[in-house]
Amino acid sequence: MELLHLRYFVAVAQELNFSTAARKLHMAASPLSRRIKDLENELGHRLFDRDTHHVRLTPAGSALLPIARGVLEQVDSIQWRLDETTRPRRTTLLLGVPSGIHPDLRERMDALAERVGDRFEIKRWPGGTERLVDAVCDGRLALTLARLPVGGDPALEQLPVMSERLGAVVPRDRFPGRESIALAELSGLAYAGSPTAVTNAYFRGLDQQLAELGIKKRVEIGSATFDGVSEIVSSGLAFSISMLDQRSPVQNYRLDNVAVLPFSDFHPQLETGLLWRKDRAHGGDLEEVVAAAHEIFAEPLRA
């Protein structure tokens, strides 16, 4: 018995039509019928009841069908099973990702994952910068993107990967037709900081800097999200500060009465870095990944 006999049998059993099965097998119906008869003779059982209008499986044919399928599945899986057995095992790495990551940065991270894909499978894990950095320190995450600056933990290394210009998020009806804004023009509004979930050292420092520059009023937003901040700004109660680039995902939270304007006299920028533990990079399990990251981010992104 040859494997082709089993393939022919399964094809006819699936179609219950010799002509249709023959077309799928790229052969004529007559040779296919002869091969089935050869198989029946070899097995000593009739596998199909045939007349001029119908083809039906006999009890022997019904019994053979799952056996034949199983044999063919085993044979067809030989190549990939062999490949899986002989190729190096892939290690899963968790990469921390804070909110609002720019799409260009996501593309670079995809390129990193592809570059090391033969040995590592990189999966992303969301969270706020400070929690993500803590998770890298204690080994729960292999690497993380983080809004800089972060604490100066000597166990960590960081690679700058992106710099984003920030602008004022203002009520559009208060500043119609404007292309930029001066910081002093916002003194009548309260400042609504970033949502609690994404607040980090940079935004705390920005809050202090604004206070020193004369922006004294604050609005407490508690556990509000980006859309909550946009709601407060849209109502005319406050302004906020966020990414200027129209492609930033944070822009998706803008409401109709919200505009993002560059400052004419203030130039905040949000820096993002890729962090990992030194002991895992230098002769450790992340050495290949970190080397690839240095190549991919040889020139940090700007937006």
In this prediction, residues 4-32 reach a mean pLDDT of 90
Inform me whether the pLDDT recorded for 198 exceeds 70. no
Inform me whether the pLDDT recorded for 197 exceeds 60. no
CATH of span 89-162+271-302: 3.40.190.10
Predicted local confidence at residue 276, as pLDDT: 96
pLDDT > 70 fraction of the chain, expressed in percent and rounded: 96
In this prediction, residues 282-300 reach a mean pLDDT of 95
Domain spans in the chain, listed from the N-terminal domain onward = 3-83, 89-162+271-302, 166-270
Predicted local confidence at residue 82, as pLDDT: 82
Q: How far apart are alpha carbons 22 and 208 in whole angstroms? A: 78
Find all residues with CB under 8 Å of 123, minimum gap 6, and list them.
Answer: 92, 93, 94, 95
Could you tell me the pLDDT band of residue 222, with boundaries at 50, 70 and 90? Answer: low
Nearest to 124 by CA among 105, 152, 138: 105
Q: Which amino acid is at 71?
A: V
Instruction: Quick: pLDDT tens for 45-95.
Output: 999 998 878 899 999 999 999 999 889 888 888 887 787 677 667 899 999
CATH architecture of 166-270: 3-Layer(aba) Sandwich (3.40)
Please indicate whether the domains covering 3-83 and 166-270 agree at the CATH topology level. Answer: no
Q: 3-class secondary structure for the chain?
A: CCHHHHHHHHHHHHHCCHHHHHHHCCCCHHHHHHHHHHHHHHHCCCCEEECCCCEEECHHHHHHHHHHHHHHHHHHCHHHHHHHHHCCCCEEEEEEECCCCCHHHHHHHHHHHHHCCCCEEEEEEECCHHHHHHHHHCCCCCEEEEEECCCCCCCEEEEEEEEEEEEEEEEHHHCCCCCCECHHHHCCCEECCCCHHHCCHHHHHHHHHHHHCCCCCECCCCCCCHHHHHHHHHCCCEEEEEECCCCCHHHHHCCCCEEEECECCCCCEEEEEEEEEHHHHCCCCCHHHHHHHHHHCCCCEEC
CATH topology classification for 3-83:
Arc Repressor Mutant, subunit A (1.10.10)
Query: Is the separation of the CB atoms in 150 and 133 below 8 Å?
Result: yes
Instruction: Quick: pLDDT tens for 28-52.
Output: 989 989 999 999 999 999 999 988 7
Query: Is the separation of the CB atoms in 148 and 273 below 8 Å?
Result: yes
- 263 conformational bin, left if phi > 0, alpha if psi -120 to 50, beta if neither: beta
Q: Which residue has the higher pLDDT, 141 or 202?
A: 141
pTM here?
A: 0.68
